Structure 1
Amino acid sequence: MESLYDHAGGEDGLRRFVDTFYSSVLADPLLQPLFGAGRPDHVAHLTAFTAETFGGPDHFSQQMGGFQRLIDAHRGLRIDEEQRQRFIELYLAAADASGLPGDAPFREALYSHVDFGTQVAMRNSHARTDDELHPLREVPIWNWPDPSDPDPRAD
């Protein structure tokens, strides 16, 4: 079966998507304070992370600091639920604007991916100690939705 990475158009499709998304985040008054003026490497890192989670190359884990880098980036941000929901909204809008596939199974996987990821990020953003962090410590690999399995992460 085709991976989510390939279905999304591989590196090029995901970079176009992330670039569209990141531009919208930096222009959004609710989310911009979390991102500041932006970082030149953020699009490349988020593209690599998304590629890896969707079954593509593992460059994020092997060359860009891996999941610990995400934990470190989110700590202290104190993301609230309104910001989390806005992030999801802009993420899904960028999928439309950038031309990611619109088929229901892909969009279901995309939504579950960003919903789960924002929950992890929000929890980690409030953690004062390592014990308060979400237990996830590695890049999760996402799969196509399976009605018999409510957790789309690969085992």
Structure 2
Amino acid sequence: MATVYEAAGGADGMLRLAHAWHERVMADEVVSHAFSHGFRPDHTERLAAYWTEALGGPAAYSEVYGDETSVVRIHSGNGPHEEMDRLAIACFDQALTDTGLGTDDRLRAVLHDYFSWATTVTMAKYHGSRDQVPQGMTIPRWSWDGLVEP
């Protein structure tokens, strides 16, 4: 059976999804606030590399950019933001449709579940302070059955 990464189109599919999600987010007045401080010009490429690794592909993020600790720190210390998270997930669901990844119900469901979990659990865990994020975290892996325990 193909990994979620392979079923979503591999590296090209992840890049298309990252671009579509980023466009949706930047057009949303609430979610775009998360980027009001600016963002790296290669944000979508980095995001695609992260999703590649998380969804069963090669270690495209950790071999080039960093580990889970660095990603979680970027998303930490901003206080709770449930409404922004809900809207970011809605943007992701729309991006699945934009890229054609929403036509396969099983793939759509697993990608939605992954993004919802990552947004509301891993990226929201340390909303109090970036200093709370432990060192040496590895990027969690997600399969057709959900979180792959280390």
> One fold, TM greater than 0.5?
yes
Residues 101 and 24 of structure 1: is their aligned pair in 2 closer, same or farther, counting only changes over 3 Å?
closer
Unpaired segments of 5 or more residues in structure 1?
A: 146-151
TM-score of the superposition, structure 2-length normalised?
0.88
Within a 5 Å distance, the mapping from 1:90-129 to structure 2 comes to 90-119=91-120, 120-127=122-129, 129=131
C-alpha separation in 2, matches of 1:139 and 1:15: 18
Q: Name the % identity.
A: 27
Within a 5 Å distance, the mapping from 1:13-92 to structure 2 comes to 13-36=13-36, 37-92=38-93
Q: Higher mean Cα deviation, 75-84 or 112-121?
A: 75-84
C-alpha separation in 1, matches of 2:77 and 2:87: 19
Unpaired segments of 5 or more residues in structure 2?
A: none
As a proportion of its length, which structure holds more helix?
1
**Residue 141 of structure 2 corresponds to which residue in structure 1?**
141
When the two chains are superposed, the root-mean-square deviation of aligned CA atoms in Å is 2.1
TM-score of the superposition, structure 1-length normalised?
0.85
Amino acid at match of 2:124: M
Greater relative CO, 1 or 2 (CA 8 Å, sep 6+): 2
Aligned length: 147
